[in-house]
Amino acid sequence: MRMLQTPLTIRRAEAADARALADFNRLMALETEHKHLSPAVILAGVEGLLRQPQYGFYLVAEQAGEIVGALMVTTEWSDWRNGVFWWVQSVYVTVAWRRRGVYRALYHRVRELAEQEPSVCGFRLYVERDNRVAQAVYRELGMQETAYLLFEELRSGTRFLASGPQKPEKH
């Protein structure tokens, strides 16, 4: 891994970052799942979270004023633990900045923020089954694979893909 020559700035995203975050989300979905997200839907989703911090927040990594990576944190109440899990989602690092410590810096900032919040009992993320590179990074940082599988059911009428051909879902 090539290390950074100058330190990154890790900060909470602001409204002015919405377009960059939406672009990162679209690039991540295309790269990891071969899905073309609707630009209008993803931009509205990013802006919605930025306006409603009770649902979560984004962190961005900046190098010389350029956003080079980001992630989103959302919350889930755990009655078993009487606390909140933070879910790390929408992780993206620009191609030119990969393997240079950007995600590591974002991850450490999430850890620091979680330790400052007494209600946070831990943090989790989900990853594509075939994304072995990301899985190795998460393990290296101290995360452990769980025994859970993820299931979902989308509400009828939920749209998030752009029109056009899509790669079939894996079952």
Spatial separation of the C-alpha atoms in residues 67 and 50, rounded to whole Å? 16
What pLDDT does 150 receive?
82
Mean pLDDT computed over 80-93: 96
Instruction: Grade residue 119 by pLDDT with cuts at 50, 70 and 90.
Output: very high
- Tokens for 19? 């377009």
Mean pLDDT computed over 77-103: 95
Mean pLDDT computed over 30-50: 94
What pLDDT does 164 receive?
58
What average pLDDT is seen over the chain? 90
Considering the entire predicted model, what is its pTM? 0.84
What pLDDT does 4 receive?
54
Which is more confident, 96 or 162? 96
Nearest to 76 by CA among 119, 139, 135, 127: 119
What pLDDT does 6 receive?
66
Q: Is the pLDDT of residue 1 over 60?
A: no
Mean pLDDT computed over 110-130: 93
Which is more confident, 165 or 43? 43
Instruction: Grade residue 171 by pLDDT with cuts at 50, 70 and 90.
Output: very low
Q: Is the pLDDT of residue 39 over 80?
A: yes
Task: Give the start-to-end residue ranges of the domains of the chain.
Answer: 9-140
What pLDDT does 152 receive?
79
Residues 6 or more apart whose Cβ sits within 8 Å of residue 75: 55, 56, 84, 85, 86, 87
Q: Is the pLDDT of residue 161 over 80?
A: no
Pick the CATH number of 9-140 from 3.40.50.1820, 3.40.140.80, 3.30.70.3340, 3.40.630.30: 3.40.630.30
Percent of the chain with pLDDT over 70: 91
- Laid out side by side, the sheet with 83-93 consists of 9-12, 56-63, 66-78, 83-93, 120-125
